[in-house]
Amino acid sequence: MILFNNSVVAMRNQFTCAVMPGIPGKDISAVFRDWEIALVEVLDLMLERYEQQPGYPFIDMKFNTITGHDFPVLDDLEKDFKSRNVVFGWIQGRALEALAGHAKWLRDCNILDNASKNWRIKRIEKILQEVFSNLEEIRMRNHGRLFFTMTPEGTPFEIDDNGKRREISLVEKPTGFTDLFYVKGMMAAASCLNDRKAKFAAADMLRKVCAEIESGHFVSDQVSFDPKNRVKPISGKLSQTPRMIAVSACALFAGLTGGQEWFDTGRRFINYILDHHIACSPQCGPLRQYDFWEFIHLDGSQWVENGVLSSIPGHTLEFIGFSADLLLQMRGKSGFTEDEKTFVHRCRMVLPGIFMRNFKNGFNPHAGGICKEFDLLNRKPLNDDMPWWSSPEAIRAAGALLALYPEEILNKDIYAAWAATNNGFFNKYINQNFRLVAYQTINSRGKPVDVIPATPDADPCYHTGLSIIDFLYSRRLWP
């Protein structure tokens, strides 16, 4: 057991960077213990940072993951997008979901005694209440919305082509990813805090967001801080990502409420992605079976630009994990409709193959990570930088597939993919010099680089935390 009054150095020093064998049957308990140590260590960091800033009612992960140093406040506010002068809606929504998820998981944590667990859970609940209340006040002032970039006072702003801030109103702004990430955090927080009113409000909000996605009115609100990460919306260019994140929301809502509507919506979104973004036929011209492309035209055809068909392997693996989560939730339902039976069978036929094809497309065995973007027509990376989040999403997906389909013929390959990703993450991403946080990005040589995948803020226990918690739970279902 690790006691709560142990020093953070003592906690960190128990991380062994255990090597995962690539074939089943070996003792892998050290790997799971290392993951629990890393989860607790980064959670502790997030809690401590909040408690050290009593006047800042947001989750604060504003530090450089390579150096561990806080981002400085710049004299020129217009150029300051890293410090506490900017609040990212994505981060706050993800943090709410992560805090609630960790509070639940701590009760099952194997490396802490009961006093250690309860001490952390009480702190999480206090922080969750304070941050959630503050964000709800800001959301009400902004017509029920939050935004990608906001001031600490809650004023949303965009960054124009000259790099300057421009305050905006969210009245006419289309639904975007902040709405999706926040509504997930909203439901998770409301459930953790037993706030029935907020749970009903979250359900109503998700219905509206899903309707906007299906009607084509959803538009990304992300600002790119990396020239190689092209996120500016283009008219008629549709990404699979809104539906993919919405599948995660539906799985979360289904698990917390048991509502049939969330199973139905999630199933509809998964079927849409399988219909429009996957090469399911063995004969696909230059493509390979189970290739997954990111963008389509309004008519459903592939978005090919300058001879390039873009794939984001991490998104594909994330889609697999979210879909598998919904399928695992469906196991608890009593009785399936014919449509549900057809859906379950379809997923079983294609999800393992989609996982393996896109893992092979993206994984760099030398560097130990998954490339940001891959060209399906020319069969090479478009962006060979490797953001951290792809790896825990791959680990989540692999674990869920092994739980769902224990008899699957590809299981040895899926297990080997998990082992390779796990070893790569332990050896290349985890910063053992600073609280076991993950470097945001490594390059094709496996070296950490100062590149921002989405926000400067470090992961608020979302990708690395929640993905690994899901993996640890699914591990119990393995044969």
CATH number of the domain enclosing 152: 1.50.10.10
Share of residues in the chain with pLDDT > 70 (%) = 98
- Domain ranges, residue 430: 8-19+28-73+81-333+341-475
Contact 336, 403 (CB under 8 A): no
Q: What is the pLDDT of residue 4?
A: 44
Distance CA 396, CA 323 (A): 11
Q: DSSP of 55-99, one letter per residue?
A: T--S----B-TTT-PBPPPPS-GGG--SSTT-EEHHHHHHHHHHH
pLDDT (average), residues 374-381: 97
Distance CA 125, CA 313 (A): 35
The answer on pLDDT for 56 being more than 90 is yes
Nearby residues of 290 by Cβ (< 8 Å), 6 or more positions away: 278, 279, 280, 350, 353, 354, 356, 357, 358
Rg, Å, the chain Cα set: 21
Distance CA 128, CA 141 (A): 20
Distance CA 437, CA 405 (A): 32
Burial 266-293 (b: 16+ CB within 10 A, else e): bbbbbbbbbeebbbeeeeeeebeebbbb
Distance CA 385, CA 429 (A): 13
3-state DSSP percent of the chain in helix, strand and coil, to 5: 50, 10, 40
Q: What is the pLDDT of residue 10?
A: 60
Count of domains observed in the chain? 1
Q: Note the pLDDT tens digit of each residue in 174-227.
A: 999 999 999 999 999 999 999 999 999 999 999 999 999 999 999 999 998 888
Which of the residue ranges 11-20, 42-51, 140-149, 162-171 would you say has the lowest mean pLDDT?
11-20
Q: What is the pLDDT of residue 26?
A: 81
360, part of any domain: yes
The answer on pLDDT for 131 being more than 50 is yes
Which of the residue ranges 11-20, 266-275, 336-345 would you say has the lowest mean pLDDT?
11-20
3, part of any domain: no
Label residue 169 left, alpha or beta by phi (over 0 means left) and psi (-120 to 50 means alpha): beta
The answer on pLDDT for 232 being more than 90 is no
Distance CA 471, CA 465 (A): 10
Q: What is the pLDDT of residue 429?
A: 98
Cα–chain-centroid distance for residue 134? 23
1 — pLDDT class (breaks 50, 70, 90): very low
Distance CA 454, CA 476 (A): 33
Distance CA 128, CA 145 (A): 19
Distance CA 215, CA 202 (A): 20
Contact 477, 403 (CB under 8 A): yes
Which residue has 């919405």 as its token pair? 246
Q: What is the pLDDT of residue 274?
A: 98
Which residue has 């999403």 as its token pair? 393
3-class secondary structure, 463? helix
Torsion angle of the four alpha carbons 118, 123, 126, 131, in this order, in degrees rounded to the nearest 10: -140
Q: What is the pLDDT of residue 332?
A: 82
pLDDT (average), residues 137-152: 97
The answer on pLDDT for 9 being more than 70 is no
2, part of any domain: no
Distance CA 36, CA 163 (A): 41
212, part of any domain: yes
As beta bridge partners, residue 295 has 239
If one compares 122 and 7, the residue with the highest pLDDT of the two is 122
Distance CA 232, CA 210 (A): 21
381 — pLDDT class (breaks 50, 70, 90): very high
Strands (E) in 266-335, as ranges, are 295-296, 304-305, 308-311
pLDDT (average), residues 267-283: 93
215, part of any domain: yes
Average pLDDT value for the chain: 94
20 — pLDDT class (breaks 50, 70, 90): confident
Label residue 356 left, alpha or beta by phi (over 0 means left) and psi (-120 to 50 means alpha): alpha
3-class secondary structure, 442? strand
Q: Note the pLDDT tens digit of each residue in 405-448.
A: 988 777 899 999 999 999 999 999 999 999 999 999 999 999 99
Q: What is the pLDDT of residue 5?
A: 44
1, part of any domain: no
Q: What is the pLDDT of residue 117?
A: 96
With vertex at residue 308, the alpha carbon angle to CA 304 and CA 313, rounded to the nearest 5 degrees, is 100
Contact 459, 438 (CB under 8 A): yes
Distance CA 345, CA 329 (A): 15
Q: Note the pLDDT tens digit of each residue in 350-370.
A: 999 999 999 999 999 999 999
Distance CA 168, CA 163 (A): 15
190, part of any domain: yes
